[in-house]
């Protein structure tokens, strides 16, 4: 048993640095400790993590710990802290209460900072994890680069509204910061692969040229039972833990994304992100049980709805299109009370997909378009197809403060599809906040 009081220390220094994404192809990345992705933060469930962030960029930053159920003050948004100015240091300190795959990324000027590489993985382990022969963290990203490998923003109206509408997608496809890397696995062995979609807007429809794998976990840790699949959608912000193998020595196949139509102007096609090579065989100790854990349902699917959240788009003369929550941009939503189960209906009335992300809490999807889901899971990011509505249940536990939800297509978030709300202690008086402050960094 690990001690509950153990503290795991990290120092993350943000910098601009040269990063070679392929032989002879170097970008001016922004990131942590001159690595892309940044260092993987590793801890065991229940440990305390102390992460000092030293900002060596020429502009402020804030770091968000996506999926960690931490205190509001540590969430890393400009609603709960002052930005970390150039030259400043800020210590994030929190307990990691859940095992699973999480990630950290800039939450300030994020359409620029995340695109340039300001992200990394967080892996929290527990003794109840299934035993595999090895594991890999696989961070999916893409970059939109000019012919001279520079990050540029479209300046003309039409390309600008395409990027605002679709989100920023690029032709430079990255796995762990590299173009078409080789992933190796021993013949006869089984590994846990922890996928994290850290791209601005790319929908990743995982496929291994038809080979089957087992899905064992989602955003909030293990499922109740493994699910056999040959493809799985991972939208921006989401995580998916799978078990791959065993394969035969000498096998080579693509880690690819099938085309997923999310109703963008630019259409997605089938693309290879990495190549998997199977090396000489080794004995296996892997064991994936049929029962991984129990997930209690938070609320029956016919529970009355306590709040409606409508994601939509509206016209904008200046920008072509605005992205809205309940008809407005950058919203302050009503508070929720500690200990009161929330059942929200989240609907997408637009004609494109949006991955809905709730900060700081996991939810269960208890209904989608009127039907109970096939299986329960803990989620913090869930994709809504056009004209779809979901019912989610979640519990605001005793972590009062200001939180937020937003679309995880970063350009949609920046264009208004976000809301702040408070979690409040019901025994104390609540003071309404003044009108929303805007979060624009142009």
Q: Give the interface with Cu ion as residue ranges (CB under 5 A).
A: 354, 407, 409, 412
- Which is closer to Cu ion, CB of 69 or CB of 354? 354
Cα gap 387→367, rounded to integer Å: 14
**3-class SS shares of the chain: helix, strand, coil, % to 5:** 5, 50, 50
Cα gap 100→122, rounded to integer Å: 8
What is the nearest approach in angstroms of Cu ion to the Cβ of residue 407? 3
What is the nearest approach in angstroms of Cu ion to the Cβ of residue 348? 9
Residue bearing tokens 């408070």? 422
What is the nearest approach in angstroms of Cu ion to the Cβ of residue 238? 13
DSSP-derived secondary structure for 252-297 = EEEEEEE----S-SSPP--EEEEEEEEES------B--S-------
What is the nearest approach in angstroms of Cu ion to the Cβ of residue 412? 3
What is the nearest approach in angstroms of Cu ion to the Cβ of residue 223? 26
Cα gap 425→434, rounded to integer Å: 19
What is the nearest approach in angstroms of Cu ion to the Cβ of residue 219? 17
What is the nearest approach in angstroms of Cu ion to the Cβ of residue 399? 26
Length of the chain (residues): 442
- Which is closer to Cu ion, CB of 189 or CB of 347? 347
Cβ(408)–Cβ(237) below 8 Å: yes
Burial class (CB in 10 A: 0-12, 13-18, 19+), 391: buried
Find the helix or strand (DSSP H, E) in which 163 lies: helix 157-166
Cα gap 369→357, rounded to integer Å: 19
DSSP-derived secondary structure for 90-135 = EEEEEE--S-EEEEEEE-SSHHHHTTTT-EEEEEEE-TTSPB-SEE
Cα gap 248→220, rounded to integer Å: 32
Cα gap 408→37, rounded to integer Å: 19
Half-sphere exposure of residue 153: CA atoms within 13 angstroms, side-chain side: 13
For residue 258, the Cα-to-chain-centroid distance in whole angstroms is 20
- Which is closer to Cu ion, CB of 12 or CB of 407? 407
Burial class (CB in 10 A: 0-12, 13-18, 19+), 70: buried
What is the nearest approach in angstroms of Cu ion to the Cβ of residue 236? 9
What is the nearest approach in angstroms of Cu ion to the Cβ of residue 386? 11
What is the nearest approach in angstroms of Cu ion to the Cβ of residue 423? 24
- Which is closer to Cu ion, CB of 212 or CB of 261? 261
Show the 3-state SS of 390-429. EEEEECCCCCCEEEEEEECCHHHHHCCCEEEEEEECCCCC
What is the nearest approach in angstroms of Cu ion to the Cβ of residue 342? 22
- Nearest in space to 246 (alpha carbons), one of 216, 293, 288, 196: 288
What is the nearest approach in angstroms of Cu ion to the Cβ of residue 264? 11
Cα gap 199→81, rounded to integer Å: 25
Strand partners, 239: 196
- Which is closer to Cu ion, CB of 45 or CB of 354? 354
Cα gap 328→325, rounded to integer Å: 5
- Which is closer to Cu ion, CB of 200 or CB of 420? 200
């Amino acid at each position: 048993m690990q001690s509950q009081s153990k503290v795991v220390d990290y120092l993350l220094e943000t910098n601009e640095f040269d990063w070679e994404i392929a032989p002879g192809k170097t970008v001016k990345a922004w990131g942590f400790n001159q690595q892309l992705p940044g260092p993987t933060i590793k801890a065991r469930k229940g440990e305390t993590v102390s992460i000092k962030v030293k900002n060596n960029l020429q502009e402020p930053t804030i770091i968000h710990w996506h999926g960690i159920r931490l205190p509001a003050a540590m969430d890393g948004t400009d609603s709960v802290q002052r930005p970390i100015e150039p030259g400043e240091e800020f210590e994030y300190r929190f307990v990691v209460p859940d095992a699973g795959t999480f990630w950290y990324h800039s939450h300030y000027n994020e359409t620029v900072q995340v695109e340039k590489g300001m992200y990394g993985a967080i892996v929290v382990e527990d003794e109840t994890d299934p035993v595999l022969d090895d594991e890999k963290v696989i961070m999916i990203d893409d970059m939109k680069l000019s012919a001279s490998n520079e990050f540029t923003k479209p300046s003309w109206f039409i390309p600008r509204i395409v990027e605002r509408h679709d989100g920023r997608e690029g032709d430079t496809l990255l796995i762990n910061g590299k173009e078409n890397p080789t992933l190796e696995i021993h013949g006869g062995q089984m590994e846990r692969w922890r996928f994290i979609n850290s791209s601005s807007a790319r929908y990743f429809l995982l496929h291994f040229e038809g080979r089957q794998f087992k899905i064992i976990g989602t955003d909030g840790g293990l499922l109740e039972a493994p699910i056999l699949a040959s493809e799985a959608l991972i939208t921006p912000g989401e995580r998916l833990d799978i078990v791959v193998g065993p394969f035969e020595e000498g096998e080579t196949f693509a880690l690819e994304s099938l085309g997923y139509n999310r109703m963008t102007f630019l259409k997605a096609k089938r693309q290879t992100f990495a190549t998997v090579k199977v090396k000489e065989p080794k004995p296996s100790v892997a064991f994936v049980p049929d029962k991984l854990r129990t997930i209690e349902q938070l609320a029956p699917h016919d529970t009355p709805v306590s709040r409606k959240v409508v994601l939509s788009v509206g016209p904008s003369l200046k920008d072509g299109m605005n992205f809205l929550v309940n008809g407005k941009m950058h919203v302050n939503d009503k508070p929720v009370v500690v200990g009161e189960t929330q059942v929200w209906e989240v609907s997408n009335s637009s004609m494109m997909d949006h991955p809905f992300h709730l900060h700081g809490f996991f939810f269960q999807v208890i209904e989608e378009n009127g039907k109970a889901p096939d299986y329960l899971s803990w989620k913090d990011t869930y994709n809504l197809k056009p004209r779809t509505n979901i019912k989610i249940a979640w519990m605001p536990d005793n972590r009062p403060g200001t939180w937020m939800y937003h679309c995880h297509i970063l350009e949609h978030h920046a264009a208004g599809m976000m809301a702040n709300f408070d979690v409040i202690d019901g025994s104390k008086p609540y003071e309404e906040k003044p009108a929303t402050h805007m979060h624009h960094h142009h």
